[in-house]
Chain A
Amino acid sequence: MSRLVGRLAQGALLLVVLSMLVFVFAELAPGDFFTGAVLDPRMSEELIETLRLQYGLEQPLHIRYLRWASSVARGEGGFSIAYRRPVVDLFLPRAAHTLMLAGASMLLAWIIALVLGIAGAYRAGGWLDRSTLIAVAALLAIPELLLALLGILVAVNTRLPLGGATSLDYASLSLGARLIDRIEHLVIPVTVLALTSLPVLVRHVRTSVLEALDAPFVRAARGHGISGRRLMLAYVLPAAANPLITLFGISFGGLLSGSLVIEGAMGWPGLGPLVLESMTNQDLHVLLAGILGVCAFLWVGNLIADGLLVLIDPRSGD
């Protein structure tokens, strides 16, 4: 328990340091949000200056940081100049969409990877194993964007919707129809995203299980005639669990960065487009929220993985 508290404090500290770094780096980059506005013929020099003053951009770095920090403390998470509202209002609905996409594809990818990896390793060199390996190698060779394009192609040729998380008439639908609508919108993006992370997962699951099959205690169990499902479930998989859980923690990160790309390509209303936009127009507080959000997500993934590792290790318990 005290270890958990320690980890949480560590994570909070990490986020604070990170936010400071982002401020410093943003300062080093030339210009600010209004640099682009100079080119706009409708904006006069004076207007831009007043706006700068209004948003406090002329203030020294530490003041700006403290203002941001107090805004975070108030629960606003900073202020987006581009959208003229607190970052939280922008962020939360989109974050929910991104989490939905990343979570669903993570679930899908892991289920497929576990099934194929375990079945393949159990009969290594068999037809299933060989075809899985070939498919995985092929998948690895296809760039993410091409996969997204293929997904769009599929969507065009079926009646599956694409773009957005819900239909236009969502509000008028019944509860059941709403659910179906949501799922239909998820199918293509989730599949594409799952496919991008699948190759690495399948390979890792397969090698972990192969290694576990070769462990001395698994061989000993075979020597006692323990075989089939009992061998797999009670001996091999627990032995493979350690590397797999570690991979699980890491896969959080890959999925999130993947989903940012896929969202842009497939018109999914998640965080991806917002964060990319904030990067180009130097909407610092939005960018900051994006970076810190990703980090927090990674860190939570790691925490879960570590917790699971402790949980399954009989030596840590008692």
Chain B
Amino acid sequence: MTKPIDSNPDPKSPVLRLDRLEVRYPSRTAESDAVVVDGLGCEIARGQAVGVLGESGSGKTSLALAVTGLLPSEARCSMELEILGRPVPAAADERFWRRLRGDTIGMVFQQPSLALHPMRRVGLQVADVLLSHRPWSARSCRRKVMELLDELDLESDIFQAFPHQLSGGQRQRIVLAQALACEPSLLVADEPTTALDRKTEIQVLELVRRLSRERQMALLWISHDPGVLAEITDRIYVMYAGRWMEEGPTESLLAEPNHPYTKLLLDCLPRRKALRSEPLDRRRLTVIPGMAPPASELPSGCRFVDRCPVVTESCGEKPSPVPMGQGRTWCVRAGSTRLGSGP
């Protein structure tokens, strides 16, 4: 079985290079399409872990589906995508993608509880991935699955189990085993740990981090939780209403965000400690006033304009990226004035 994209071409080329990604869905009500992802680009080097931070509906899943060729048929998508230095043709069809998926690109989905077939033994579900990509016998696939289970700290008798017999954490590991079976160069994960409790979540994250180091595997990790991204990524892209707002190394971005949106978002984290017999009002969390614009009524300039506390006239134009430290910020005021985090 030949791969459409060789797994070891130029070792210096990034694992993923994405530019000008646009995803739109035809809208049932308005005549114009809903633009869900608008002109995104990013680059992921070998072994690098890149996170995408965004609220629900910001287009994170659409981004993940686009780079794996899994968008639903009604979606319209255009992009310039290179995987391991080789361009993905614009007319790439299912036959092209299905050899990449599971082999060069591993994929872990939102809602792991739904990602496993309820009527098939989980070990077989892992083996299916191998059988689809490797010319191996059933027996050697089985042996490989056993190795994987071991690597993921799962007991070998789990092979025979059905998904409903497993805990959330075990199920998530099985999904990971599927994604990692063919030792992909890139793992795309769409909020894979939201359904897990904190302890299990950390275990899974540490596991993925370890494996990605060992195998030099790149990560595209999508989440709405800065805590998760802090745990696992080297670099974060902040997404809002289909566009990047800010991008930079994980530590500095979370510690000193430059974009008004990132600041406000991080302010929503609970920080204060409650006191007994204080008015409950004092325990309120900070919120970002207003709501994200619906995909059919996006503002023409900065997408955050309706909720931004430091908005100015020039915000009506589309902001271009401003280099800030080791990252970039898509805000017209970036760098010029010190930004407060609102009143």
Contacts and interface: CB of A to CB of B under 8 A. Distances in A.
**Chains A and B touch (C-beta atoms under 8 A apart):** yes
Contacts of B99: 225
A226 B102 contact: yes
Which of A223, A235, A313 has the most chain B CB atoms inside 10 A of its CB? Answer: A223
A176 interface: no
Interface residues of B, number: 33
A312 B118 CA distance: 11
A314 B116 CA distance: 13
Given A219-B70, A226-B128, A315 B98 contact: no
Contacts of A225: 98-103, 129, 132-133
A238 B132 contact: no
Interface stretch (B106-114, B146-154, B263-271): B106-114
A223 B102 contact: yes
A76 B42 CA distance: 83
A238 B117 contact: yes
Interface string B63-95: 000001010000000000000000000000010
Interface string A281-314: 0000000000000000000000000000000111
A224 B178 contact: yes
B115 A217 contact: yes
Closest 7 pairs (CB-CB, A-B): A225-B102, A224-B102, A216-B114, A220-B115, A314-B162, A225-B101, A223-B107
A239 interface: yes
Interface residues of A, number: 22
A179 interface: no
A222 B115 contact: no
B131 A222 contact: no
B114 A224 contact: no
A208 to B, nearest CB: 14
B78 to A, nearest CB: 21
Interface string B111-143: 100111111100011001101110000000000
Given A216-B114, A224-B107, A315-B162, A239 B119 contact: yes
Contacts of A315: 118, 162, 164
Contact of A223 (B68, B124, B131): B68
Given A226-B128, A314-B162, A220 B102 contact: no
A313 B162 CA distance: 10
Contacts of A314: 118-119, 162, 164
B229 interface: no
Contacts of A227: 94, 98, 132
A221 B119 contact: no
